[in-house]
């Protein structure tokens, strides 16, 4: 983000429990060192000391746009084109409904079977609400480009597959959508903070994502939404909340949207979560995204080679070519849930996605080659000793 380049990793910027190898930053990023103090100060010196005055003197009301600009710098979005709030599912709903309004004579939402279920569920809920013959068309990820036709109102695609890590080519898919006359909506949940991305250059109309994964904003951190400037200027918000109004404190009886992306704000911003996230965004200072990407591929390749050497029972389900992958590596194994529990018990933290996927995220901000080698070693012990066969690892928790 600034001119002095940082050498990776930057482990010292995070609180990481001693001895833990954390390969789950794709699901929940670790605690950035300054975040707890920032939230504490916010609570005592702002909320505690100023109470309601904080909205003005501490500029809480400007926070969603201020933090939006920081996220914008990581995703190639100009200042003033990103705002923060709610959860990603809500932002998907907002972007999708605004996109459909832009193509009133079309009825198809195109997505793929690798998309995260919540995105598909939000589309299904919206369709139920709209009636009028709307349809969600789900194709295989490799068929997305060919499926673009003149019935498609909006292509709603998540760039990195949460299970396999397979990566969509943003430029190619966006061009195909536009060539078919469709609106392009990207979900960057597993992209933002993981790989270089430039929403402006892609020319997509909308992009959304969450900030508790690679952006380390903490559990429940607010989502982001971007709209291209020309689109933001006249999109119609489905959730017409008061803070997306042009003049919230005029308390008019009728909704009038704020001028640009701010109309995608809904209600009161999550001030404490935004304070944590704002601090978390400082870890990116000096980080070169091309360096980060190169390190991510190097670490992932090292892991794949090690696991394939030591654990023949596991089958790679991620693309072998690093350029075709996000920042995670997944292996299929029929006892994957129990094997992951055994691994977690040994302080190597990944996660499990049904039916049989063991998922490992590689975030070069705090993972290095020594961590990868150690993780391979411990995983090979789990496999060699059939630790997954032990009953204590087979009990299912609510969150996998």
Catalytic residues: 116, 187, 212-213, 359
Region binding ligand PLP by CB under 6 A among candidate stretches 50-58, 111-119, 198-206, 264-272: 111-119
Residue 124 in the binding site for ligand PLP (CB under 6 A): no
Judged by CB under 6 A, which of 42, 70, 77, 88 binds ligand PLP? 88
Judged by CB under 6 A, which of 41, 69, 118, 400 binds ligand PLP? 118
Q: Kindly state the smallest distance separating residue 6's Cβ from ligand PLP, in Å.
A: 27
Q: Residue 116 or 393: which CB sits closer to ligand PLP?
A: 116
Q: Is the dihedral of CA 339, 342, 347, 352 positive or negative?
A: positive
Show Cβ contacts of residue 368 under 8 Å, excluding neighbours closer than 6 positions.
9, 11, 299
Binding residues with ligand PLP: total (CB under 6 A): 13
Identify the residue whose tokens are 């094997």: 339
Region binding ligand PLP by CB under 6 A among candidate stretches 85-93, 228-236, 261-269, 355-363: 85-93
Judged by CB under 6 A, which of 46, 187, 262, 278 binds ligand PLP? 187
Q: Residues 72, 261: contact at Cβ < 8 Å?
A: no
| Secondary structure of residue 315 in the 3-state scheme | strand
Which token pair is 329?
């590596």
Region binding ligand PLP by CB under 6 A among candidate stretches 186-194, 313-321, 342-350, 372-380: 186-194
Given the DSSP bridges, would you call strands 328-332 and 315-316 parallel, antiparallel or unpaired? antiparallel
From the list 154, 196, 190, 151, the residue with the least C-alpha distance to 174 is 154
| Secondary structure of residue 222 in the 3-state scheme | coil
Residue 69 in the binding site for ligand PLP (CB under 6 A): no
Round to whole Å and give the CA distance between 88 and 85: 9
Q: Kindly state the smallest distance separating residue 100's Cβ from ligand PLP, in Å.
A: 18
Q: Residues 292, 307: contact at Cβ < 8 Å?
A: no
Which token pair is 202?
């892609």
Q: What track of x and - describes contact with ligand PLP for positions 217 through 236 (by CB under 6 A)?
A: ------x-------------
Judged by CB under 6 A, which of 158, 216, 296, 341 binds ligand PLP? 158
Residue 119 in the binding site for ligand PLP (CB under 6 A): yes
Round to whole Å and give the CA distance between 266 and 257: 11
Q: Kindly state the smallest distance separating residue 94's Cβ from ligand PLP, in Å.
A: 12
Judged by CB under 6 A, which of 84, 189, 307, 376 binds ligand PLP? 189
Q: Kindly state the smallest distance separating residue 212's Cβ from ligand PLP, in Å.
A: 7
Counting beta carbons within 10 angstroms of the beta carbon of residue 385, is it exposed (0 to 12), middle (13 to 18) or buried (19 or more)? Answer: exposed
Round to whole Å and give the CA distance between 348 and 344: 5
Q: How many CB atoms lie within 10 A of CB 20?
A: 14
Binding residues vs ligand PLP (CB under 6 A)? 87-89, 116, 118-119, 158, 162, 187, 189-190, 210, 223
């Amino acid at each position: 983000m600034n001119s002095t380049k940082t050498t990776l990793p930057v482990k010292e910027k995070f609180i990481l429990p001693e001895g833990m190898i954390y390969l789950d930053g794709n699901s929940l990023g670790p605690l950035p060192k300054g975040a707890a103090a920032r939230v504490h100060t916010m609570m005592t010196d702002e909320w505690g000391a100023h109470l309601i005055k904080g909205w003005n003197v501490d500029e809480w009301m400007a926070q969603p746009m201020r933090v939006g600009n920081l996220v914008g710098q990581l995703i190639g979005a100009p200042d003033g084109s990103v705002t923060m709030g709610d959860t990603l599912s809500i932002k998907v709903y907002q972007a999708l409904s605004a996109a459909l309004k832009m193509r009133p004579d079309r009825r198809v939402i195109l997505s793929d079977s690798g998309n995260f279920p919540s995105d598909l569920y939000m589309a299904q809920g919206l369709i139920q609400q709209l009636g009028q013959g709307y349809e969600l068309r789900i194709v295989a990820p490799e068929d997305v480009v060919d499926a673009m036709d003149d019935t498609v109102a909006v292509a709603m695609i998540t760039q990195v597959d949460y299970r396999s890590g397979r990566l969509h080519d943003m430029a190619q898919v966006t061009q195909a959508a536009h060539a078919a006359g469709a609106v392009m909506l990207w979900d960057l949940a597993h992209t933002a903070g993981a790989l270089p991305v430039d929403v402006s250059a892609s020319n997509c109309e909308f992009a959304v994502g969450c900030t508790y994964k690679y952006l380390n904003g903490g559990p429940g951190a607010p989502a982001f939404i971007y709209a291209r400037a020309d689109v933001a200027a006249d999109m119609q918000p489905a959730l017409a909340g008061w803070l997306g109004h042009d003049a919230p404190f005029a308390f008019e009886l009728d909704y009038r949207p704020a001028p640009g992306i701010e109309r995608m704000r809904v209600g009161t911003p999550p001030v404490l979560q935004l304070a944590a996230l704002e601090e978390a965004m400082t870890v990116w200072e000096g980080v070169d995204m091309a360096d980060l990407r190169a390190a991510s591929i190097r670490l992932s390749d090292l892991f794949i080679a090690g696991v394939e050497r030591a654990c023949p029972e596991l089958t790679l389900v991620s693309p072998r070519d690093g350029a075709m992958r996000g920042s995670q590596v997944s292996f299929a194994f029929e006892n994957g849930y129990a094997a992951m529990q055994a691994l977690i018990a040994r302080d190597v933290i990944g996660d499990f996605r049904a039916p049989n996927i063991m998922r490992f995220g590689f975030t070069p901000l705090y993972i290095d080659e020594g961590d990868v080698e150690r993780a391979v070693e411990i995983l090979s012990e789990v496999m060699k000793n059939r630790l997954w066969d032990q009953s204590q690892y087979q009990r299912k928790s609510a969150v996998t």
